[in-house]
Structure 1
């Protein structure tokens, strides 16, 4: 059994998973200030929960579960962003050379489209974008692999429609 109790071990794990935490926060929260707040909240939740890790699943699955549970709590506390707020937030972003490329535009469209998905579909899509397989996603979300497959299929269908409507 792995026992993660030392602060240095926790710091290293938070640093290792920070990119995933940041992407998950951005996937669940469009407003930049709240996205940053959510990322910090996720990191703190992971920090606090590491002592309770008991090898029932892989450490990365456990951390993703904590991250996504924290995001769900965040969503429950904060109202959904309106389309006007989303448009305003996207206009306020300072342009950079990378954002001027077609790839950056497509990434923005994908983020916008993913954020329009219902929560149950958004969860599986965000985990898929983090390159988790269906088994890992089922462990993180606490649902069957078959349910993950169904949700992923529905999410892909809805994303295709949303992205087609943006072009």
Structure 2
């Protein structure tokens, strides 16, 4: 899709990238109601930004960049930083039994809280890496060099390891 012109096409784009947008929003906001508001803000920002997308980068990277920019604006505008919260149920995997599911969910909550506490520059790089973006794609999305991505991910990994410990 090189151009998203109508509401139906935009709705399709939002459906195709719903998971990505939800996870990016969750990396910026713990409170479910505020996260829902952030998702709406991301969708509006994406609608406004789409005319500037020329197809020279993957649409997925463009969506992630817009979402991260809106998330950063959201964090900067908040007077308080959330210290905890639950992850949406769509992060859960059904193949685990009750005990395994509880342990997995606890680890995800700890990881999400730890990622949320990272400085914005590290948080953005980690969130994209967890989405499977390559260093080059992260660099393009964030407007930095691939070497800077490596540095940010290394720093983020050290910070997360310190918070979570080696066992997480």
Q: TM-score, normalised by structure 1?
A: 0.85
Bigger drift between 157-166 and 55-64 goes to 157-166
User: Is the counterpart of residue 106 in structure 1 residue 107 in structure 2?
Assistant: yes
2:165 match: secondary structure: helix
2:66 match: secondary structure: helix
- Is there any run of 5+ residues in structure 1 with no aligned partner, and where? 91-95
Deviation at 1:99, TM superposition (A): 9.2
- Cα deviation digits, residues 31-75 of structure 1 (max 9, x gap): 221111101111121122222211221111111111111111111
Which position in structure 2 is the counterpart of 1:20? 20
Which position in structure 2 is the counterpart of 1:141? 142
1:101 match: secondary structure: helix
Moved over 6 A (4+): none
Question: Cα 1:74–1:99, aligned 2, differ >3 Å: closer, same or farther?
Answer: farther
* Kept after mapping to 1: 8 A contact 2:30/2:82: no
Question: Cα 1:25–1:146, aligned 2, differ >3 Å: closer, same or farther?
Answer: same
* CA distance in 2 between partners of 1:142 and 1:98 (Å): 42
2:20 match: secondary structure: helix
Number of residue pairs matched by the alignment: 158
Structure with the larger helix share: 1
CA-based RMSD of the aligned residues comes to: 2.3
Q: TM-score, normalised by structure 2?
A: 0.85
Which position in structure 1 is the counterpart of 2:129? 128
- Is there any run of 5+ residues in structure 2 with no aligned partner, and where? 87-91, 93-97
Which position in structure 1 is the counterpart of 2:9? 9
